[in-house]
């Protein structure tokens, strides 16, 4: 485990794989830590330098008091990459991690060669919906909305009492610090990246699970349509977190994209 104080917050991170390889950075979703990328990371490590991290308020990273801004998360990642000496990485982001990826590509193009945007959008949800979630979590804890979140994250077949992985990911969600979860909900509520994302000029792959209940395929497609030359792909048999539910399809799409852009 590695920890660094950057941008005024302690971030948990890990660097894996080939030390002299091209760098791929992973940014995880709301209510998860970087372990959601373990299978994808393992497939890339023989050829790439892989950077994983827990965003502020998640995993083992510091949970500063809520609310947060999307700019906080973007600045945190930029500061971490500067700390690690990373330049021109491919940034892979899921959900809020995908918004962080869009934000860092716009704010710090020196750090980003290309993007893989998984189950995300330039704007996610409404002010009313995010405020209701923030109020529920602050009043009654994350477990009070856990079942509803799991229905958006995973397909019915995966959400089985016999599936130990499902139980584990439920624990990952409900054990997220309330400040980290509600604070990031506020960042999502207030973020509209339409203008900056539409100006991006770099290779982009957009991926979405066919049964995503949080950022459905049509929403992700609207983001792909904003970015000139981007590619849009649907992962079959997956909800909001294809890297967990369908890792082989996700790996194939990401590695294929990396080869297309010559990142090897």
Q: HEC string of 74-133?
A: HHHHHHHHHHHCCCCEEEEEECHHHHHHHHHHHHCHHHEEEEEEECCCCCCCCHHHHHHH
What distances in angstroms separate CA 169 from CA 1, 35, 42, 69, 241, one per listed residue? Answer: 20, 10, 19, 25, 11
User: Any long-range contacts for 12-16 (C-beta under 8 Å, 24+ apart)?
Assistant: 12/53, 12/54, 12/59, 12/60, 12/61, 13/51, 13/52, 13/53, 13/54, 13/80, 13/84, 14/51, 14/52, 14/53, 15/49, 15/50, 15/51, 15/52, 15/84, 16/41, 16/45, 16/49, 16/50, 16/52
Residue 1 has pLDDT above 80, yes or no: no
Cα gap 225→231, rounded to integer Å: 9
Average pLDDT over residues 64-72: 98
Residue 22 banded pLDDT, cuts 50, 70, 90: very high
Q: How many residues does the chain have?
A: 264
**CATH number for the domain that contains residue 127:** 3.40.50.1820
**Structural domain of 228:** 2-260
Residue 264 banded pLDDT, cuts 50, 70, 90: confident
| Token reading at 90 | 């491919």
Provide the pairing of β-strand 23-27 with 89-94: parallel
Count: domains in the chain: 1
Work out the percent of the chain whose per-residue pLDDT is above 90: 98
Average pLDDT over residues 12-38: 97
């Amino acid at each position: 485990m590695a920890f660094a104080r950057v941008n005024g917050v302690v971030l948990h991170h890990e660097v894996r794989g080939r030390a002299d390889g091209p760098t791929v950075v992973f940014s995880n979703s709301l209510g998860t830590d970087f372990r959601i990328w373990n299978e994808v990371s393992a497939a890339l490590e023989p050829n790439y330098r892989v950077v994983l991290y827990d965003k502020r308020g998640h995993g083992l990273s510091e949970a500063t008091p809520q609310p947060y801004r999307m700019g906080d998360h973007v600045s945190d990642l930029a500061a971490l990459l500067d700390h690690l000496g990373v330049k021109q990485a491919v940034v892979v982001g899921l959900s809020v991690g995908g918004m962080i990826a869009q934000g860092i590509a716009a704010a710090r193009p020196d750090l980003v060669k290309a993007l893989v945007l998984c189950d995300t959008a330039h704007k996610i949800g409404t002010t009313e919906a995010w405020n209701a979630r923030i109020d529920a979590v602050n009043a009654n804890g994350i477990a009070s909305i856990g079942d509803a979140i799991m229905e958006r994250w995973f397909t019915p077949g995966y959400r089985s009492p016999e599936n130990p992985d499902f139980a584990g990911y439920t624990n990952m969600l409900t054990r997220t610090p309330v400040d980290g979860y509600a604070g990031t909900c506020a960042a999502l509520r207030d973020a509209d990246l339409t203008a900056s994302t539409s100006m991006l000029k770099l290779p982009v792959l957009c991926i979405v699970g066919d049964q995503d209940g949080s950022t459905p395929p049509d929403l992700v497609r609207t983001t792909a349509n904003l970015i000139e030359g981007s590619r849009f792909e649907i992962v079959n048999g997956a909800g909001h977190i294809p890297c967990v539910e369908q890792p082989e399809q996700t790996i194939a799409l990401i590695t294929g994209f990396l080869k297309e852009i010559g990142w090897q």
